[in-house]
Every structure is written in C-alpha cells, then in structure tokens.
Amino acid sequence: MTGKSNSFFSRRAFLAGLMASTGVPALAEAPKVSLRPRMRDDARAQVSELASLLRGSRVTGDIVFAVADAETGNILEARNETSGIAPASVAKSITALYAQDILGPSHRFVTQVVAAGEITNGVLEGDLVLVGGCDPTLDTKALAKLALGLKEAGLREVRGRFLVFENALRPLRTIDPEQPDHLGYSPAVSGIALNYNRVHFQWKRGSGDYTVTMDARAAPYRPDVQMARMQIVDRSAPIFSYRDAGDHDQWTVAKKALGKEGARWLPVRRPGLYAGDVFATLARSNGIVLKAPELVEELPAGTVLSTVKSPELREILQGMLKYSNNLTAEMVGLAATRMYSGRAHTLAASARQMNLWAKEALGMQKPAFADHSGLGGASRVSAADMVRALAAAHDRALLRPILKPVTLRDKSGRPDKKHPVKVAAKTGTLNFVSGLAGYITAPDGREMVFAIFCADESIRATIPRAHRERPQGARPWANRARRLQRQLLERWGTIYSS
C-alpha cells in the first residue's frame, strides 16, 4: 500500500510463511483425526496443566491466545488462535505501527494562526483563522503560546471574522455512539482538539446553592468557556443529560447526585468552537479582541502569524499506549490515512485503510478493525494475526520500546518488579472484554510475542447503553481475566526458557 512500509517491515513475507506452521500448539483447535505424532509425556503434562489453569480461572466466555518465537514466528502454544475477537485497546498497538510507518516516528503536528488579509500598522483588515493540524496533544498552554505569538508578530486588532478550521480531519461528534454521552473517553474528533476534547466541570455547594464552573484548565491557565454549559436539575436520574444547543453543548446534572463539592471531565462535542472560545479568551489577555468563533469548511489562503508544534509522534504514541487515550489513537490513525490518500476519511473508511496496510506491511490475514482505538465493539482480530504483527515489528523496534512494562507476581501473589520473566504489552479493556498483547523475554533471553483475548459477548450484549460506565459484574470478571493473563505469561516465560 505504501513504499515506506517495505523498508519498515522487510521481514513480513518471511514471517507470514512461518506463521502458517505451528510448533507445539498445546491446546490449539485440532482436526478430528490427528496429523501429528503422539505427544510425549511432558507435552501431555503441559496440556493437562494448561487445561487446569483455564478451568481454575473462572473466566466465562471465549478465551483465545497464541504465543510465538519472536525471531522465527513459530507458534509455541495456542488456543482458538484463528477466532476473531474484540481487541479493545490492544488495537492501539497496530495504530501505533500504522502511524509511524505512514507519518514517520519524528513527525510533528502543527497548529497555526493565519491572517487572511492585509495587516497595516498592526490592524488586520481581513479574517483571522485558527488552523487545526491534527495535534492530539494541543492544550490550553499551547493555545496561550499561539496567542502570545500574535502579539509578538505585531498584531493589535482584527476587523474581520475569527474563523476556526477543523476539517483537516472529518469532524465526528463522538468516537463510539454506543457510549453514554457524558463519558470523557468518547469525545468528538476533528482536525483540532483541545485538552483531549474535554471540558472541566466543577461544583461546590455554598449557603444553600451550588456554584458551577466549566473551564479549559491546564496549569497555570484556567479560562472559563461559553460553548459548554451546565444546569443543575432537581432529579435523581439520569445523572447527566446532553443536548446539542447549536452554538454550545448544553448539559444538565442531577442535583441529588452531587455531594458538597467535586469535579469531573466531560466530553466536548464541538471541538472547533471549544478551541476557538478558549483562544479568543487568551488573545484578549494579550490585548487582541476577537469576534465569536465561526467554523469554516475550506481553509482560506493567508499569512502564518503564529505556530506551535506537537512533540514527535513517537513520544505521542508512547503516551497514547501508556494512558490508552482513545482520541489520540483516532486522530493519529486518521491523520496517517489522510497523509497516504490526500483527503480526510470517515473513521470506518480510515480503519479499512489500516486493515489493508496491516495485511501488506505486517502479514496479518484477516484484520477487521472498525476504528483506531478499539473503543467500538465492532472490531475483530485473531490472536494469530496479532502475533504475526508483533513478530513483523520485532526487529524494527518500533513498538516494544514504547509499550508499558507488565509487572508479574511472585509465588505469594505480590507484584515482583524483579521477576525473571520480563513483559512489555498493551492492555485492552471493554465491558466483559479483556486483552493483552506484546513481548516476553524469558530468563534465558529468548524473545517471544503473544496475544491473549477474553470476551463474554453474551453478557456484554445485555448491558443497556445507560449502564455501560460501570455495569454490574464487569470489574470482578476483568480481574479474573487479568489474573489468567499473568498466569499464562509466567507459564510461557518458564516452559519456553531453556
């Protein structure tokens, strides 16, 4: 799909061939008539031990996994490894590889302010345009730097409109429409994002009533916003409600759900107007008064007055994988597709482009990602495909160095940072879905790749949309799944080390 991927993933064809054969798939799905020689006694013991481990986990639903040698790609042990299953945030590891291949690890996103008109003696006779450049890390501090740049450029007055261009990416009101409206991890997506497209809601009860603030805080700044508004309503449920009020996001909150004081981040549904609202406040603090922000679909030509750049993509991706930020994943994935194709795509269309890339660059056979973050439950990937991808990326060191270490436990069940088996991986969690995929280093130095997915779709399908923030039973199920994952990692690090 792209010439650049040939240089990044030169081993993919070699590994794809190797992955077609298996080494010792102890619990892999087998034909009714065995095509392999009879197991040795030690192999039988391993199968029995694994079966006992799975039964003891009490994880309901599907359990699929595969572990392979990182150098050869040979599968060492597997179970239902070709079954497609929801990857949750494990999908972000593929997005990280996709973005680095298309954009380059050192790529920086640029946000600009452009003067569309002539400036005479510090007075702009045309429009001022805030231009989003797909930077998922843009915060209020960066906007303050942009605003200061206008003053340093000599701008004193703007007589035209104040415009915001967010169409570098196609605007989307929420990452996953199936999530409740108030959840901050499913905000809007567009070519501009401020504070991860979240607004800070804070309340405090005084003498009989509440004071409420909605702001875009990022120390040391704390500008109030007008495009997101909150009303306290005398009710018990629902706790939050949302309404699109045209020029602003209108929220209500149940009074009976509020204590004396508190705060939380709420998602922003109009990111262009949000960024424009905050930027106008910051510009005013530098003596430049702007009109109310308006969105513009086409970017006007003009002169760049002020610029801020993001950190390098590799650093952004490391933060994305560490904190599992959904907005970052969607923005970098969409930006990569835009770079490749030259135009903005819908989220589903961009994910299809990533699927095609993953087949070519990583040797995956049936990737079916529906987005770049894994937040939507429609994505499917097999454990075998994940280990193919991880093995293909192994020698390029594009992923493992930016994955989080996973701490295993000692015999007493306590976290052991000195555990002889070292793991770096990406976790993934949805309601009754738990995934983990990454790299293992055995005590003898052997490198392995693995993927483990657990999902109980029968329970997941019964959860109403309003209850998806904390459904009953989801946390203990996830704890059991994570315990099983650690046990499998400890097992593999032991039995596949010389």
Q: What confidence score (pLDDT) does residue 1 get?
A: 46
Asked if the model's pLDDT at residue 148 lies above 80, the reply is yes
Q: What burial class does residue 96 get, using C-beta atoms within 10 Å of its C-beta: 0-12 exposed, 13-18 middle, 19+ buried?
A: buried
User: Which pLDDT value is given to residue 343?
Assistant: 86
- Over the stretch 36-91, which tens digit does the pLDDT of each residue have? 344 455 667 778 889 999 999 999 999 999 999 999 999 999 999 999 999 999 99
Give the CA-trace dihedral at 99, 173, 198, 479, to 10 degrees: -70
Q: Helical H runs in 264-397?
A: 271-284, 313-323, 326-341, 347-362, 383-394
pLDDT-above-70 percentage for the chain: 91
> If we measure between CA atoms, which residue out of 286, 294, 311, 274 comes closest to residue 200?
274
Alpha-carbon gap, residue 104 to 420, rounded angstroms: 34
pLDDT at residue 6 is higher than 50: no
Q: What is the pLDDT of residue 23?
A: 38
Q: Are 154 and 122 in contact (CB under 8 A)?
A: yes
Higher-scoring residue by pLDDT: 390, 498: 390
pLDDT of residue 2: 43
Position 151 scores a pLDDT of 96
Checking if the pLDDT of 309 tops 70, the result is: yes
120-137 pLDDT per residue, tens: 999 999 999 999 999 999
Indicate whether 25 pLDDT > 60.
no
- State pLDDT tens for residues 201-256: 999 998 878 999 999 999 999 999 999 999 999 998 999 999 999 999 999 999 99
* Mean of per-residue pLDDT scores for the chain: 91
**Which band of pLDDT confidence, cut at 50, 70 and 90, is reported for residue 3?**
very low
pLDDT at 19 over 70: no
pLDDT higher than 50, residue 327: yes
| pLDDT for position 230 | 97
